[in-house]
Amino acid sequence: MDTRQILRLLIVLSGLNGACDALFCNCTAPQCEKDGYKCETNGACVASTSVIKGQEQHVRLCIQKEDLVPPGQPFYCLSAEGLMNTHCCYSDYCNSIDLRLPTVTNGPGSGQDWGPVELTAVVVGPVFVLCVLVLLGLVLFQHHQRAYGHRQRLEVEDPSTEHMFLAKDKTLQDLIYDLSTSGSGSGLPLFVQRTVARTIVLQEIIGKGRFGEVWRGKWRGGDVAVKIFSSREERSWFREAEIYQTIMLRHENILGFIAADNKDNGTWTQLWLVSDYHENGSLFDYLNRYSVTIEGMIKLALSAASGLAHLHMEILGTQGKPGIAHRDLKSKNILVKKNCTCAIADLGLAVRHESVSDTIDIAPNQRVGTKRYMAPEVLEETINMRHFDSFKCADIYALGLVYWEIARRCNAGGIHEEYQLPYYDLVPSDPSIEEMRKVVCDQRLRPNIPNWWQSYEALRVMGKIMRECWYANGAARLTALRIKKTLSQLSVDEDMKI
């Protein structure tokens, strides 16, 4: 760029500046009379025409730059239909033009002949439309969020994999194997659970408990157990399903959970919990029917301890499990598998330990479970519920009672006793808390350990374990892991093939 060009540019720029700073306009205001009806401004010239009371009025003025608000459409430059025509311009004396008179339209919408109804409509109408639009927006947003959440879930539980899980030739065992090797360690995907549950054919009722009925059902030729809760018991159903699906809970000595389903038949909701079926039924049923050998006793006791140790144990890591306390351990809630080992069942009252915050996952109530099996501190309500280990100690007390039920049925040396519930000789058949408390806490009585058990190593060890499960002081009791180790050693000493 040469000097001449630069000079020309400077002149143009200064000219522009000058035009901005000193714009001359026609002015009809009285104070402009002395300046010859002119004014000077840094903003705009404005001309406006109006009809007031039938009289034409032409106004010309200067508007200062700072009054030109909002930018682009200053209020001073707006016309008002039927009232005023306004024109702003930005060159010297540009407002000398004569504007047309504002046109008065008396048709609908002109606003001049509006009655209160029309005025209300004009005000309320747009507000109403705005509300509808906002509502519509909200509905669409929520729908989108839900669809998104659903999509997320489906991505996690991709139904296109359903054929993999539910291929015609798959048995339940295959299915469970698939999930234990490929799954998250917390159970079958929910859509598979639902499909399995809805293709089960119920066969016969096998038991009735506090929360509902237990049925034997058939799925692809195999047996399954179906616990059916009434709709009143939805919370129990939900809680039990939730606990069974705790990550990494699966263990050979814990009842194998298959599916949970809530089926609405129009009138009520059927709540199903599907699990492995064990034809021997509960340990209570089994001991009532059969006596056991020393080997059989150790096998039952060791497997029950293994199940409880796994339940109690916290496993750290992303694929870990929290510590869980059962809170309703008894011979009716332990099932006997075909190979005569135990599977701990009925996890509906269990509590989980959140070790990071050292809290328990639900607000635990003082006394749950079965009165006969309640530990002294539960009967007396002195249990420290903020301390998770107290619940484990209460489980150990109940395990000791279960061991007593088993050991009584041990036919060592040809002697064995008939089946009895713990405290059968001390409390009535359906004891109250008060009756249990008197015996267990006040009189500090425990089930009888016969002297002749001392003559058999296995029964002696079992008796010792029981005593150490029954201490009044929960913290002094054995742990499930300790019991498991003692019984493992006993099985070695007894030359058992386990």
Ligand X SMILES: Nc1ncnc2c1ncn2[C@@H]1O[C@H](COP(=O)(O)OP(=O)(O)OP(=O)(O)O)[C@@H](O)[C@H]1O
The listed partner (ligand X, Mg ion, none) that binds 235, CB under 5 to 8 Å by sort, is: none
- Residues within window 302-361 making contact with Mg ion, judged by CB under 5 A: 333, 346
DSSP state at residue 12 = H
Stretch that binds Mg ion, among 99-107, 113-121, 204-212, 458-466 (CB under 5 A): 204-212
**All residues at 6 or more sequence positions from 414 whose CB lies less than 8 Å from its CB, including other chains:** none
φ, ψ of residue 225 to 5 degrees: the values are -100, 135
Q: Binding to ligand X by residue 253, rule CB under 6 A? A: no
Q: Binding to Mg ion by residue 209, rule CB under 5 A? A: yes
The listed partner (Mg ion, ligand X, none) that binds 302, CB under 5 to 8 Å by sort, is: none
- CA–CA dist 144, 148 (Å, integer): 6
Type of residue found at 263? K
Stretch that binds ligand X, among 91-99, 331-339, 386-394, 406-414 (CB under 6 A): 331-339
**All residues at 6 or more sequence positions from 456 whose CB lies less than 8 Å from its CB, including other chains:** 294, 412, 413
Q: Considering beta carbons, is residue 255 or 427 the nearer one to ligand X? A: 255
Question: From the CB of 272, what's the least distance to Mg ion, in Å?
Answer: 16
The listed partner (Mg ion, ligand X, none) that binds 206, CB under 5 to 8 Å by sort, is: ligand X
Q: Binding to ligand X by residue 307, rule CB under 6 A? A: no
Q: Considering beta carbons, is residue 67 or 233 the nearer one to ligand X? A: 233
φ, ψ of residue 139 to 5 degrees: the values are -60, -45
Q: Binding to ligand X by residue 219, rule CB under 6 A? A: no
Q: Binding to Mg ion by residue 368, rule CB under 5 A? A: no
**Closest alpha carbon to 58 in 88, 90, 86:** 86
Q: Binding to ligand X by residue 225, rule CB under 6 A? A: yes
Q: Scan for tokens 């000193």, then name that residue.
A: 22
Burial class of 224 by CB neighbour count within 10 A (0 to 12, 13 to 18, 19+): buried
Type of residue found at 90? Y
Q: Considering beta carbons, is residue 66 or 204 the nearer one to Mg ion? A: 204
Can you read off the two tokens belonging to residue 89? 């311009």
- CA–CA dist 92, 40 (Å, integer): 9
Q: How many CA atoms lie within 13 A of 266 on its CB side?
A: 0
- CA–CA dist 435, 443 (Å, integer): 11
Q: Considering beta carbons, is residue 233 or 389 the nearer one to ligand X? A: 233
Helices (H) and strands (E) in the chain, counts: 13, 15
Ligand-binding site membership of 338 (annotated): no
Query: How many of the chain's residues bind ligand X (CB under 6 A)?
Result: 22
Stretch that binds ligand X, among 109-117, 209-217, 261-269, 485-493 (CB under 6 A): 209-217
Question: From the CB of 478, what's the least distance to ligand X, in Å?
Answer: 25
Burial class of 75 by CB neighbour count within 10 A (0 to 12, 13 to 18, 19+): exposed
Q: Binding to ligand X by residue 126, rule CB under 6 A? A: no
Q: Is 328 a catalytic residue?
A: yes
Would you say 394 and 474 are in contact if contact means Cβ atoms under 8 Å apart? yes
Q: Considering beta carbons, is residue 430 or 434 the nearer one to ligand X? A: 430
Burial class of 361 by CB neighbour count within 10 A (0 to 12, 13 to 18, 19+): middle
Q: Which of 26, 193, 333, 486 binds ligand X (CB under 6 A)?
A: 333
Q: Considering beta carbons, is residue 348 or 447 the nearer one to ligand X? A: 348
φ, ψ of residue 102 to 5 degrees: the values are -60, 135
- CA–CA dist 278, 273 (Å, integer): 15
Q: Binding to ligand X by residue 419, rule CB under 6 A? A: no
- Annotated active-site residue in 261, 276, 285, 328: 328
Q: Binding to ligand X by residue 240, rule CB under 6 A? A: no
Residue at shortest CB range from Mg ion: 346
**Closest alpha carbon to 481 in 301, 299, 310, 247:** 310
Q: Which of 149, 209, 320, 450 binds ligand X (CB under 6 A)?
A: 209
Q: Binding to Mg ion by residue 275, rule CB under 5 A? A: no
Q: Binding to ligand X by residue 275, rule CB under 6 A? A: yes
Q: Binding to ligand X by residue 202, rule CB under 6 A? A: no
Would you say 218 and 200 are in contact if contact means Cβ atoms under 8 Å apart? yes
Q: Binding to ligand X by residue 218, rule CB under 6 A? A: no
The listed partner (ligand X, Mg ion, none) that binds 299, CB under 5 to 8 Å by sort, is: none
Q: Considering beta carbons, is residue 255 or 440 the nearer one to ligand X? A: 255
The listed partner (ligand X, Mg ion, none) that binds 214, CB under 5 to 8 Å by sort, is: ligand X
Type of residue found at 279? E
Q: How many CA atoms lie within 13 A of 468 on its CB side?
A: 12
Catalytic residues: 328
Residue positions forming the annotated binding site: 227
Q: Give the footprint of ligand X on this chain (CB under 6 A).
A: 206-207, 209-211, 214, 225, 227, 255, 275-278, 281-282, 285, 332-333, 335, 345-346, 370
Residue positions forming the annotated binding site for ATP: 227
Q: Give the footprint of Mg ion on this chain (CB under 5 A).
A: 209, 333, 346
